[in-house]
């Protein structure tokens, strides 16, 4: 006779409710409430514009590894508004008087990405709030100038 030890694995199944943007909830009511909220609606529209969300901040550029980085494409003029609404929702301070320069910077970048058929990089912080990084072209341009003297950049 031979003694054989075997493992038995029980797979636990459970139900989650997934909102339009992929956020998961354990309660149906919470999911419905989120889907019907402004944030749920805006994130659902933004999700259609995301072309990549594979990287953490650390993997992509040496930033915070808790932040998910997304690349957003802006194929139509209407999509400019979707991107800006999402950003303003998470960063309402930018709409206050005195923050015109910060607001102008993001508006310029989103419009630039649309014109140049580029992508915009955003991150989600630990509070699931969208933060602006920059357009891919702007980042590449700055990287290409790292070894240039100030006079050459003119």
Q: Is pLDDT of 21 > 80?
A: no
Q: Is pLDDT of 36 > 90?
A: no
Q: How confident is the model at residue 11 (pLDDT cuts 50, 70, 90)?
A: confident
61-75 tens-digit pLDDT: 766 677 788 999 999
Q: Which two tokens stand for residue 36?
A: 């019907």
Q: What length does the chain have?
A: 154
72-99 tens-digit pLDDT: 999 999 999 999 999 998 998 998 889 9
Q: Is pLDDT of 106 > 90?
A: yes
For residue 64, what are the contacts with CB-CB under 8 A and spacing of at least 6? 56, 57, 58, 123, 125
pLDDT at 146: 83
* DSSP string across 114-134: HHHT-EEEEEE-TTS-EEEEE
Distance from C-alpha of 13 to C-alpha of 49, rounded to nearest angstrom: 32
Kindly report the average pLDDT of the chain as a whole number.
86
Task: Judge whether 94 and 104 are in contact, CB under 8 Å.
Answer: no
Claim: this prediction has a pTM higher than 0.85: no
């Amino acid at each position: 006779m031979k003694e054989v030890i075997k493992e038995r694995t029980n797979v636990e199944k459970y139900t989650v409710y997934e909102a339009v943007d992929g956020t998961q909830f354990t309660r149906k009511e919470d999911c419905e409430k989120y889907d019907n909220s402004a944030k749920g609606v805006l994130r659902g529209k933004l999700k259609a514009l995301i072309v990549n969300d594979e990287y953490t901040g650390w993997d992509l550029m040496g930033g915070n590894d808790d932040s998910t980085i997304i690349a957003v494409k802006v194929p139509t003029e209407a999509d400019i508004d979707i991107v800006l609404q999402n950003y303003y929702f998470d960063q309402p301070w930018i709409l206050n008087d005195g923050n015109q320069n910060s607001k102008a910077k993001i508006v310029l970048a989103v419009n630039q990405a649309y014109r140049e058929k580029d992508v915009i990089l955003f991150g989600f912080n630990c509070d699931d709030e969208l933060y602006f990084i920059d357009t891919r072209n702007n980042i590449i341009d700055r990287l290409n100038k790292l070894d240039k003297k100030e006079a050459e950049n003119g």
